[in-house]
Structure 1
Amino acid sequence: MATKTPASPRKKRGTRRSGKYVAKVDTSQARSNIEVLRMCLQELGWKECISGCAIDSDIYWHSAVFQEGNRNFGFSSARVNKFPGMCDLLRKTSLTRSLNVMRTLFPEEFDFYPKTWFLPEQNEQFQKYASSMHDEDRRRKRPLTTFIVKPSDGSQGEGIYLIRDPARYNATNRPHVVQKYIDRPLLIDGLKFDIRIYVLIFNLDPLEIFLYNEGLVRFATVNYQPPSATNLHQTFMHLTNYSLNKRSANYKHASDEDQINASKRKLTLVWSQLSQQFSSNEVERAKLLIEEMINKTILAILPELRIEYVSELPLTRKQNRCFQIIGFDIILTDQLKPILLEVNANPSLRIDFDHENEAGKFISQPSPIDEEIKKPLVLETLKFVMLRRNQLEPSIEIIASEDQNIVQNQVEEHNEAESKNADKIHKETQSKSMLKNATLMKKVEPNLTDTEEESQDSTEDTISEAVSVDKFINTITANKSVIQSPMSRILKATHTPIVTSVKSLKMIYPTTSPNKYENMLLLEKIAFIYIELVIRRGYKTMTNRQFRHFASISGVIDSSITIPSVDMLYAQIFYKWKSFVVKPSTTGLHFPAFIEALFLLAQRKYSSSGTLLSSVIELTESCVRQLNICVEV
């Protein structure tokens, strides 16, 4: 396996041209993004590193995922245009789970996403729902409800089809989602369309979200008709994906960026067209709902995004080493209500298209509308990254230097411990942790009887505990300020950004109403619990012992909820998720599984609270208080 090259913060970045600092951007992993990226760098006069470079760049631009190539960003203060784990978090199944959790707690706030089932996992529930809906349809003498099936890992419209009868679902080894089809979409000139909105997640700590002021609208190429038995197969009518419709004989390429009849149009042009159908207040309300949808969706994935981040990069600094442009695909109903279709972790930044010539060969041609939309997006993002970086450069260099020393110590400890078996590592680390925190834990952890200890051991024999030798236990936790900072930053309601907007990028989070999304930070607190109990101790997933410890410090254990019952719940959730989580190399509860277990414990412990939300708040606050006691004493 190739050794990862440290990106040292001590090395000089960029170059100086006539006394002026010239930023340096590594494009060795840019691939399909290279054309638009290179145009922007040339316009800015910045230096491009094409094949990787020993000198650390200011920005690393990747086309797909955070970890591309062999560079170790744990040593670097450079910024990368991808967040760790973002691709997985935005797959259709993962995104749906995150949104479903939030909808369970805040049903009225998350009604912008269609009702969705996972297949084959929830095939039985889907069949029952479809049967019930169709019975209702027949009673009301209306067309049968239609559903749309999508591969979880699909893109560009591949593998999508419409069904009415659940028996028509084509079961494969590939996971799918199935949703209620939006059968009353808003039309322009009789055609269905969807909107690609570009969003920049600029920081995690504190969270900063920017909305690009231009977007791309993709049109179907056959006039829309409500779904029926005779037209379910007509993809050019029901699907708006460019990759599908470009094959249609009716597809119209834009000869210039303002062509009003093209199959691909600028969002500002479409808003102008819609202003002729709706009042200005209705159009502005739709725009506001889209902004709220974006913020709520990102808040739904944010807890796992933080966990992925701290699992990949040092815990000693703010989570601002990454940024990412993501694409929201949205459809409008005939009442101008925005509905979220999906979120793309890697929206296409191509500024050309493939055209078939007279000889039947496909050749690449420039796309004026794509360049008009995507070039300013990339250009302003690059400028903003360097603007913010220059404002924070001194502190970045100091922190990065400290990071390097800490990580080097971790590497030395890792090499020494690598030859030991997992059980021995785990026992030694548990012993160190117990010695260090024994006095503190007495305040929050109840005494266990000998019988309960035997129950712990027997359960752990059944459920294997995950030990991650590439994470380094208890190295960072000795620094109190470091431990205290994550929760205080997570719960910080407001902050004063250095820059709130840059030309075409508008900050939409944080908002001018600091309390607007405050309740939705509940999952952030749960992520803090998971990070403190799992990630900071060098694990990738929650072991049975850690789950039992969580139950103890949260005050859940009593006469009705015993240690054995907590162990049983852990085992049930573990085996349930093991059957469909695509990470077989690790054992233990991943964060979504921990959320499910926490919800069940909250309902049992606080059954009189009235709502699930109230129960979860009580349990979470109890645990957070105890964790803060352990840290601050």
Structure 2
Amino acid sequence: MNMSVNIPKSRKNSMFKLGPIETTDSRVIWNPENDRNELYDVDVGRAVPTAVLNAPQQGTAVANHADPSPEWIAANLHTTPPPSRPKSIGSPYLSSPAIKKKSKSKAKVRHRRMRPCLTVEMSKAKSGAEVLRISFEELGWRWKEVCGPRKTSCDLHWHGCSFYDNDGIQSGMVNKFPGLLELVRKAQLSKLLHQMHELFPEEFDFYPRTWLLPEQYHHFCANVAEMQQKHPHDKPVFIVKPDEGSQGDGIYLITNPHHMGSVGLVRRAVVQEYIARPLLLERTKFDLRVYVLLASIDPLQIYICREGMARFCTVKYQLPTNRNINQVFMHLTNYSLNKKSDTFIHTDSMDRGSKRTLTSTFTALASRGHDAVGLWDAIEEIVVKTITAMLPDLTVELQAELPAKKPAPSCFQILGFDILVTDELKPILLEVNANPSLRLDFEHEVSPGIVESKPSPVDEEIKISLIKDTLRLLKPGKHAKEFKSRHTMPNSDGSHHSQAAVRSATPNSATPNSSDDEAGKEGVAIDESCLEEIWPRKYGERYSHLRVMEHVAGLFNQFLGVKGAHRMGATGFRMFSRKCKLCSNGITMAAIDIMYIDITRRWTLDSHEGIGAGMCFGAFLEGFFSIAMRKFRGSSLLEKVSALVEVCECNLKRAGARPTPRPHPRRLRRPEMVRRRVSGGWPTTED
């Protein structure tokens, strides 16, 4: 039906200032509540039939003229206006540009929240930078590298040496624990394991007998002479290792203590009994590199990697004699030494060559009739016991560097345990590496002076999976803690554990915060993790009694006096003795002061700080053991130490629950009242 519309001349007198018809697409919208074919004019508040708006005008199209006034529309169309403005004005049906812009901005914000970008700082990552980039690419995570100083927070800090590579870190995650690098040095680790051996002699028998040089050199000579008197036909062999050495630098073998070199007499080192009868494979000596993830300290979470590395010597093994004692390619399994040998074999195979995977090595041992499963369980126990021995010192260091109620990052660390297996299939701990190599290539000498890098399939197979599963498990990011607390999955026995403890993401997940359930809906297969939780799931209940030293660490932290301090002063040690009521059974406060001076002086001989620096945690442990030996009677040192720990904690608990003591009476300040006593007497020291 064709209708002509006359434009009224009262447009200038209209109180509604309408725009031209051609812009009505932003004001005239479809009204879904109306069954008739009508459009609704937002500005006018009238329902206009579509036939009227589509009808041609006199001589020209309607779009070329101005809008009709509301009086004209009401007089000519005879339509009844709606009672009020429809509520659908803010519905999605509207096509207002402002509303479109607002909804678009919300969609962008929602899109950013769904796919966060992980910020990573790896300027000090060294060899770990390459494997970290490859792991992010294979995971499919959105990440961005942060270079140089940055004021804003970063999600992941990947250091190559220690926690102190970058200063001022207050948030995010760091792949190092403060103080752990010093704890795993050969001398300090020997002290910790020897200390635990005194408490648990049957549990800590997996470490060779060790002497610290040069302070225990005379003691070492006396022990060797005693061994030769008992077994005159035996010729013991010893291995000397520098305390801060790495990659086999400065290691040598001796049969006579008087043949000691500069490493040991001048340079700090350790000397250990040499394992003369190791387990051989293809008549060659080898050791095992086991990777361990220390995910958390409080609560303690330990994971072991099912895949590791076996490093073989390049010369067939023979019992050490004076002729072959200097052949390092026969007696030392360090990769950094054997790669210089002409017989070192680089191969793409996982079960041949001088470097093999742990799985292929255990398969070869099982084929020869050895109990590979029992050997692996024994290695897991060594890992748990070693970390338990380091835990008290690590707790003290962590409390000093990252005190509570202050912004601090969360820490984790990948450790490398070097295990040697004897011919009786007993694993022996050689050392612990705080910074195991994460290189994926090796250097090949093409010609004299020309070296090129080639990829190592064995390293790629082991280390890429290790880093990928570590990132999946820990989920570094701003919302990682919230995600871990929300997502739990049931065990087979009905209990629940965190889903992050098994597998927190999939290989193709878009973000580090995406769940396995979402990935399963998208059809992404979840592969099995190479990390196995051994604490607390597997050995938490069996070896919980080994954590008695952590109670002593808690007492030390409580009486430090100053937050963030590493050493306890004389006042703190006296306060500890008074609060715990240790001055009994012949122990006086004067004896406590003398003990503090003697122990602190002995522990500060090697430093220039002196007694004024205070008592470190190791010195406090020595004093704690001394008090336990003098105060209690028992069959073993463990019983005495446990009794002292219980007494200290009970006395501190009672002191905390005791009501506030009555205040001291005020002294009278008038001269004539100075000698006058207050009725009831002055309170005693105990009150």
Three-state SS of the structure 2 residue aligned to 1:154 is coil
In 2 relative to 1, CA 262–617 (structure 1 residues): closer, same or farther, beyond 3 Å? Answer: same
1:72-87 correspondence runs (5 A): 72-73=169-170, 76=171, 78-87=172-181
1:546 aligned to 572, 577, 581, which one?
A: 572
Work out the CA distance in 1 between the residues paired with 2:620 and 2:219.
23
How far apart are residue 15 of structure 1 and its match? Answer: 12
Residue equivalent to 1:571: 597
Tell whether the 8 Å contact from 2:289 to 2:309 is kept in structure 1 after alignment: yes
The one-letter amino acid paired with 1:612 is L
Work out the CA distance in 2 between the residues paired with 1:17 and 1:58.
16
1:307 has 2:396 as partner: yes
In 2 relative to 1, CA 224–249 (structure 1 residues): closer, same or farther, beyond 3 Å? Answer: same
Residue equivalent to 1:71: 168
Deviations 1:444-501 (A, max 9, x none): xxxxxxxxxxxxxxxxxxxxxxxxxxxxxxxxxxxxxxxxxxxxxxxxxx99555433
In 2 relative to 1, CA 40–211 (structure 1 residues): closer, same or farther, beyond 3 Å? Answer: same
Work out the CA distance in 1 between the residues paired with 2:612 and 2:131.
39
Residue equivalent to 2:641: 616
Residue equivalent to 1:49: 145
How far apart are residue 128 of structure 1 and its match? Answer: 1.0
How far apart are residue 288 of structure 1 and its match? Answer: 0.6
Residue equivalent to 1:534: 560
Residue equivalent to 1:335: 424
Give the helix-richer structure, 1 or 2: 1
In 2 relative to 1, CA 393–19 (structure 1 residues): closer, same or farther, beyond 3 Å? Answer: closer
In 2 relative to 1, CA 170–582 (structure 1 residues): closer, same or farther, beyond 3 Å? Answer: farther
2:385 aligned to 288, 296, 312, which one?
A: 296
Deviations 1:251-307 (A, max 9, x none): 1112x142x33100000000000002224xx21111111001000000100111111
1:180-195 correspondence runs (5 A): 180-195=273-288
Residue equivalent to 2:187: 93
Deviations 1:171-224 (A, max 9, x none): 443210110001110000111001100000001111000001100111111111
Three-state SS of the structure 1 residue aligned to 2:453 is strand
Tell whether the 8 Å contact from 1:151 to 1:160 is kept in structure 2 after alignment: yes
Tell whether the 8 Å contact from 2:116 to 2:142 is kept in structure 1 after alignment: no
Which structure: larger Rg?
A: 2
How far apart are residue 583 of structure 1 and its match? Answer: 7.3
Work out the CA distance in 1 between the residues paired with 2:478 and 2:249.
39
1:8-23 correspondence runs (5 A): 19-23=114-118
The one-letter amino acid paired with 2:258 is A
1:252 has 2:253 as partner: no
Residue equivalent to 2:119: 24
How far apart are residue 383 of structure 1 and its match? Answer: 1.7
1:355-504 correspondence runs (5 A): 355-386=444-475, 390=479, 392-393=481-482, 496-502=497-503, 503-504=529-530
TM-score, normalization by structure 2: 0.71
Work out the CA distance in 2 between the residues paired with 1:319 and 1:306.
15
Q: Which moved more, 1:172-181 or 1:243-252?
A: 172-181
Tell whether the 8 Å contact from 1:214 to 1:373 is kept in structure 2 after alignment: yes
In 2 relative to 1, CA 132–290 (structure 1 residues): closer, same or farther, beyond 3 Å? Answer: same
Work out the CA distance in 2 between the residues paired with 1:92 and 1:236.
22
1:230 aligned to 304, 323, 326, which one?
A: 323
1:269 has 2:357 as partner: no
Q: Which moved more, 1:378-387 or 1:329-338?
A: 378-387
Work out the CA distance in 1 between the residues paired with 2:115 and 2:192.
46
In 2 relative to 1, CA 257–587 (structure 1 residues): closer, same or farther, beyond 3 Å? Answer: farther
The one-letter amino acid paired with 2:648 is C
The one-letter amino acid paired with 1:223 is K
In 2 relative to 1, CA 212–514 (structure 1 residues): closer, same or farther, beyond 3 Å? Answer: closer
TM-score, normalization by structure 1: 0.77
Aligned residues: CA RMSD:
2.5
Q: Percent identity over the alignment?
A: 40
In 2 relative to 1, CA 515–380 (structure 1 residues): closer, same or farther, beyond 3 Å? Answer: closer
Unpaired segments of 5 or more residues in structure 1? 1-13, 397-493
Work out the CA distance in 2 between the residues paired with 1:243 and 1:16.
48
Q: Name the count of aligned residue pairs.
A: 512
Deviations 1:102-139 (A, max 9, x none): 1100000000000101001111111111111122331x
Residue equivalent to 1:596: 622
How far apart are residue 316 of structure 1 and its match? Answer: 2.9
Residue equivalent to 1:433: none
The one-letter amino acid paired with 2:161 is A
The one-letter amino acid paired with 1:505 is L
The one-letter amino acid paired with 2:436 is P
The one-letter amino acid paired with 2:203 is E
Work out the CA distance in 1 between the residues paired with 2:535 and 2:249.
33
Residue equivalent to 1:61: 158
Three-state SS of the structure 1 residue aligned to 2:417 is strand
